[in-house]
Homo-oligomer: A and B are copies of this chain.
Amino acid sequence: LTEARRRPGPRRAVTESDMLDAARALLDAGGPDAASIRRIAAAMSVPPNAVYTYFPDQAAVAHALVERLLGQVDRAAARSGATGWRRRIEALAVQLRSRLAAHPGLVPLLFGGRMDGPHAGALREKLLALLAEGGLADCEAARGAHAIVVYVLGAVAMEASDAPHVGALPPELERIAARRVAYAAAGDAFPRTAAAADVIAAWIGTDQFVWGLRRLIDGLAGPELP
């Protein structure tokens, strides 16, 4: 927008996009707290306060990181060839989940801000459109969209909090094993929880995520007709 009229002073040494790339790399390598202003600055070989030329504060960096990720989801889901509004919603959600699973350090930032950027709005708009396509009245669609967002972000947050706080999520098999151990430790005190240990293999990963999402959608619109 106001990009064209920068006149005096030297050219910007780096771009906002470069900084966000560096921030995400730091999050991937060091976990949710690794994308400090000072580390981003060090990665760009500028003094810490130079970052404030590009972003007003740390929250703005986080907001931009979230927006950029949501933008990638939007585009990827648009390419999806899934037919039917239920499958399209699932595809949208699965895209978001897999994007975030690749960068779990970014997940806590989702809840730090308001997710009110244009890409967030576009995703919400698409979700509302798909629910309308499913025949939901405006009120049910609005409330249903909110419930779906809550489920998707909650699932992603829980998965990220299960993972070690550094790097990408470990392979699903490893996480399954870790879960199994944790629940076996529940022992006699919580028999149902311990008994559920065998089901846990299905808990983690895309399967459980989609399973729960489908049940929620069924609750919103009724079970799918065969």
CA distance A208 to B179 in the complex (A): 32
Chain B neighbourhood of A189, CB < 8 A: 118, 121
Chain B neighbourhood of A208, CB < 8 A: 143, 146-147
- Does A158 make an interface contact (CB < 8 A)? yes
Chain B neighbourhood of A73, CB < 8 A: none
Interface members, chain A 46-87 (any B CB < 8 Å): none
- Does A114 make an interface contact (CB < 8 A)? yes
Q: Assuming the A-B contacts A124-B193, A219-B215, are A114 and B199 also in contact, with contact meaning beta carbons closer than 8 angstroms in the complex?
A: no
Interface range for A: 35 or more
CA distance A129 to B191 in the complex (A): 10
- Does A138 make an interface contact (CB < 8 A)? yes
Q: Once the chains bind, are B192 and A125 in contact (CB under 8 Å)?
A: yes
Q: Which of A1-9, A18-26, A37-45, A148-156 contacts B (4 or more CB under 8 A)?
A: A148-156
CA distance A113 to B161 in the complex (A): 6
Quickly give the copy total for this chain.
Answer: 2
Chain B neighbourhood of A142, CB < 8 A: 196, 199-200, 203
Q: Once the chains bind, are B138 and A190 in contact (CB under 8 Å)?
A: no
CA distance A115 to B183 in the complex (A): 12
- Does A184 make an interface contact (CB < 8 A)? no
B108, B143, B153, B161: the one within 8 Å of A199 (CB): B143
CA distance A204 to B154 in the complex (A): 17
CA distance A149 to B154 in the complex (A): 8
A sample of 29 inter-chain contacts (CB < 8 A) reads A107-B111, A108-B108, A108-B111, A111-B111, A111-B157, A111-B158, A112-B161, A114-B161, A114-B162, A114-B182, A116-B182, A121-B186, A128-B192, A129-B192, A132-B192, A138-B199, A141-B192, A141-B196, A142-B199, A142-B200, A143-B202, A146-B212, A150-B158, A154-B154, A154-B155, A215-B216, A218-B218, A218-B219, A219-B219
